[in-house]
A and B are shown apart, each in its own frame.
Chain A
C-alpha cells in the first residue's frame, strides 16, 4: 500500500507539472507580472489541496477502484492485514499516523513537480546561457513563456543562467506547497462535512489548536482579501503594474467566494450571525473601493446571481427544466426600457396618452418601474406555465427553449414596438429621490458601482425570499413535485397552482434582474437576450450546486466573473474555461457548494440499519411487484 500511495503522489506531482505547464503556455503567470514562481507555487498548492483532500475523503473508493477486494469500507492507508503481515516499520508508521502519511504524500507530489520544473527550466536557462536564443524558438513551436518557467520576471530573461540556488529554491518551493496543502487538509478536515474519515488524523498531527486556527483563518480570509483589495485601490499603490485591474477583479471574486465558505465554517448561532453581518458590511463596501471595470463585472455577476436564484426555484426546487428562462429576463429589461427610454413606439405612446401621461416626459423612474417589470415578467411566467403544465422532462425543456426564442424574435421583429435590431437606447439610470448616487457620494461610487450595489441588495433580497419560501410548505410542495408529481398530487399538492407559482416567482426574479441589466447596459438590443443567457443561468446553478443559494453565488462568480479575469489569456480563454468546468464536474459533481439536502443524502450511508448496496435497494420495489405467490399466505419475500 505505501508503494501504491507513493505512486499516486508522484502521479499527482506529474499532473500538477502538466497543469502548470499549460498555465505557462497560455501565459497566465506572464500576465501577472513580476516573478511568477510564487504564484505558480500557490496554484500548485491549491491543486495539491484539492487532490489530497479528495483522496483523504474517499480513500476506500480509490483503493477498491484498483481491484482490491475484501477491504472495502476502510480508508486506503489503513488496509491493515496485508501491511501488518509484511511487517515493514514504515508501513506500520504510516497506517497508524495517517496525518504523517498525508504529509509525506504531499511532500512527494510537491517534490516531483518541483524537480520537473527545476530540471526543465534549468535546461532552458542553460541553453540561454550558452547563447541559444530559446525564447524565439519556443515562440515558434509553442508560445511557452520561458521567463515564467525559470521564475524570473520577463525583463530578466536575457541574463538567465544556471544557478544551483534557483534549482534548490524551485524544488523547495513546490515541495513546501505540497506539504502546506497536506497540512491544510489535515487542519481543515474536522470542520468540514466529511470529517469522519480524517478526524483522527487531525488529532495525530496538529491537535485541536491548529484546527480552530484553520477555521478562524478561513473566516478571516475574505476580510483580509477585502482589506488588501482596498489597499490596492489607494492612489500610488502599484503592485501588479498594468495587470492590477485584473488581479483586483480576481481577488474580489475570491473574496466574495471565500466569504460564503467563511459563513459555512462559522458555528451556527451567534458566531455565524456576527460573521454574516460583518461580511454583509464588507461586501457592501466593495462597490466603493472597486473601479468602473471591476464594478461592472461584479454587477453582471450579481445580476446573474438573481437570475440563478430565480431559475433555481423553477429547476432546483420545483424540478421543471426551463431552457427559455432568458424570456423573462428580456421581458423585464424591455419593460423598463419602454418606461424609461426616450424611444417610444406609437403603441406605447398612444397607450400613455390614453392614460393621460405625456409621452414626452421621462416616464417612470427605476423604482416606479420595478413593480411593473416584475409583474410583467410574472405574467409572462404564468403565460408560459399554462401550456406546459402537463409536460415533463425533455418535452418541457424543448417547449421552454422555444418560448425563449419566440420572445427574442418578437423583440427583433416587432420593429414598431421594440425598435427591432436597433434596440432601445439611452435607458435612464436608477436614481434616489432624483439624485444620482454618484453625485451624492462625490464620485466615490461610480455609476457601475451603483449598479453593483443595487445588484447586491436585490440579490440579497431575492435570496432571502427564495430561502424562506423553500423552507415553507410551498418549498416542500415543490420538492415533492420534483420527486414524484403524481404522488404529490395524490398527497394533496395542487399541481397547477404550485407549478404556476414556481414559474411566476422565478420569472419575477428574472424580471428584476432584466431591469437592472437594462439600466447597466443603458442600450439594449435583442441579441442581448439569446439562448446563451439561459444556458449560462442554468450552467451556473449546476456548477454551483442545484438548490443551494450559496452555491449559486459561487457559480455566478465562476461562470460570469472568471471569464472576465481570463480575458487576459486571449484566445485560450474559452478553452481554459471549458477545462475548468470539466475539472469542476469531475471533482465536485454535485456543484461547488451542494445544497444541504444533497449533503444529507451523501452523508447518510453511515446511518445504521440501511442497505449499503444501492442495487439491492433499487430492486426491492420491483420484487414486490412481482411477488405474486400469495395463495398460501407466504406472500412476498421472507427475508428483507
Chain B
C-alpha cells in the first residue's frame, strides 16, 4: 500500500510552546489510523496543520505526493481532505440536508448567473446535489431527518451529521477529531461501524483522534502516539499498548516502572 498522506518533520510553535515537534507520520491509502495522546499533546494542532487552519513553522505535508503547505483550507478540501471537529461545529441554524449541501459546495459548478436564471443545468445540478446529500445522510444513519435544523438534532446525530457534511466534498482522506467523544456505548458502536463502512464502502482513508481506547484498539490498523508534541510511539494497537513510553505518558513514570517490574516478574 502506498502512503496517501506523508507528514515529514512537521513543527508548529505557539509563542514559546512547541505544540507539534518534528512529527513524522505516514498514512497508508484505505487504512484506518489513530492518533492518541494525553490532553494537550498536540493532536488537534496537527489536524489543524493538515487542514490549513495553522501553517506549520517547519516540515512538509504531502498528500498524494503534492505539498499541502501554504494552501488555504478550502484548497486543501478541494484536494480531498475533509474533517470533523472535536467540539461539534455544525452550521447550527441550517437543516441537516443544507449542512451536507454546504459540504458539497466546491463540487458544484453552476455559475451564480445560472442560479439567478434557474437554467436547466443549474437545476439539474441542485437536484443531483440534494439527491447525493440524502444518500450521504442515509449512509451515516440520518435518513428521514433531512429537514431537521441541526442544533435540534440529538448529540450523537450531530456527530454523524458532521461526518456526512465532510463526505459531501467527496474526500479521499477523512480526519475525525474525537468522533466518539461524549457518546453513549450504543452510539459509539454506531460510530465505529460507520468508520468501517466509510473505508469499506466509500473507499475513504480514515485518520482519527480518539480518547476512547476501546474504539482506538478495536478499529485502528495503526496507532501513533503524541506526547508534548512529539511522536513517542507508532505501530499496531498491540505494539502501542505495551510500549513503556506510552504507559509513562498516560499514567506517569511510577506506574510505568511498576508495569515494567510486573513484566519482569512475569
Q: Chain A interface (Cβ within 8 Å of chain B)?
A: 464-465, 468-469, 471-474, 476-477, 479-480, 483-484, 486-495, 501, 597, 600-601, 604-605, 607, 609-611, 617, 620-625, 627-628, 630-633, 635-640
A473-B129 Cα distance, complex, nearest whole Å: 10
Residue positions of B touching A, CB distance < 8 A:
39, 51-53, 72-74, 76-78, 82-83, 85-89, 91-95, 98, 101-103, 105-108, 110, 112, 115-118, 122, 126, 129, 148-149, 151-156, 165-166, 168-169, 178, 180-185, 187, 211-214, 250-251
A638 to B185 CA separation, bound complex (whole angstroms): 7
Q: Are A627 and B182 in contact (CB under 8 A)?
A: yes
Are the CB atoms of B103 and A468 closer together than 8 Å? no
User: Is the pair A476, B102 in contact by a Cβ cutoff of 8 Å?
Assistant: yes
For the A-B complex, the count of residue pairs with Cβ-Cβ distances under 8 Å equals: 164
CA distance A484 to B99 in the complex (A): 12
Which B residues lie within 8 Å of A484 (CB)? 89, 91
Chain B residues with Cβ below 8 Å from A623 are 182
* Minimum CB–CB distance for B9 against chain A, Å: 24
B121, chain A: closest CB distance, angstroms: 13
Nearest chain A residue, comparing its CB with the CB of B88: A621
The answer to whether A636 and B182 touch (CB under 8 A), given A492-B77, A494-B74, is yes
Chain A residues contacting B178 (CB-CB under 8 Å) are 624
6 A-B pairs with C-beta separation under 8 A: A468-B118, A488-B91, A493-B105, A600-B149, A601-B93, A617-B151
Cβ contact within 8 Å between A469 and B115 = yes
Q: How far is the CA of A494 from the CA of B73 in the complex (A)?
A: 9
Q: What is the CB-to-nearest-CB distance from B234 to chain A, in angstroms, rounded to a whole number?
A: 19
Closest chain A residue, CB of each to CB of B171:
A492
Taking the closest CB of chain B, its distance from the CB of A500, in whole angstroms, is 12
Do B148 and A604 touch across chains, with their CB atoms under 8 A apart? yes
Residues of B contacting A635 with CB < 8 Å?
Answer: 180-181, 211-213
Query: Complex: how many Å from CA A489 to CA B91?
Result: 12
B181/A636 in contact, CB under 8 A = yes
* Pair A631/B251 contact, Cβ less than 8 Å: yes
A604 lies within 8 A of B149 (CB): yes
With A473-B101, A635-B180 known to touch, is A640 a contact of B211 (CB < 8 Å)?
A: no
B256 CB → nearest A CB, Å: 13
Given contacts A489-B72, A491-B103, contact A472 B213 (CB under 8 A): no
- In the complex, A123 Cα to B194 Cα: how many Å? 80
**Pairs of residues from A and B, 6 with the lowest C-beta to C-beta distance, nearest first:** A472-B115, A630-B211, A492-B106, A635-B212, A633-B214, A624-B182
In the complex, the answer to whether A624 meets B181 with C-beta atoms within 8 Å is yes
* Given A477-B102, A487-B85, A490-B74, residue A620 in contact with residue B212 (CB < 8 A): no
- Asked whether A490 lies within 8 Å of B102 as measured between CB atoms, the reply is no
Cβ A627 vs Cβ B181 within 8 A = yes
Instruction: Pick from A487, A622, A628: contact of B211, CB below 8 A.
Output: A628
Partner of B165, one of A489, A491, A495, A601: A491
A632-B187 Cα distance, complex, nearest whole Å: 18
Q: Knowing A472-B115, A474-B112, A483-B92 are in contact, say whether A624-B102 is a contact too (CB < 8 A).
A: no
A129 CA to B254 CA, complexed, in Å: 103
Most chain B CB atoms below 10 A, which of A620, A621, A638, A639: A621
Distance in Å from the Cβ of A314 to the closest Cβ of chain B? 16
Report the minimum CB–CB distance from B248 to chain A (whole Å): 13
Find chain A residues with CB under 8 A from B116 CB.
464-465, 468-469, 472
* Chain A residues, Cβ within 8 Å of B151: 601, 617
For B156, what are the chain A residues with a Cβ–Cβ distance below 8 Å?
640
Shortest C-beta distance, A635 to chain B (Å), equals 4
Q: A472-B110, A477-B105, A630-B212 known; A487 and B91 CB under 8 Å?
A: yes
Contact partners of A474 in chain B: CB under 8 A: 112, 115
Q: Measured between alpha carbons, how far is A632 from B169 in the docked complex, in Å?
A: 35
Residues on the A chain within 8 Å of B91, using CB: 479-480, 483-484, 487-488
Residues of A within 8 A of B169 (CB): 491-492
A631 touches which of B82, B106, B213 (Cβ 8 Å): B213
Across the interface, do A607 and B181 meet the contact criterion of CB distance under 8 Å?
no
Interface centre among B85, B182, B185 (most CB of A within 10 A): B182
Please indicate the chain B residues that have their CB under 8 angstroms from the CB of A636 in the complex: 180-183, 211-212
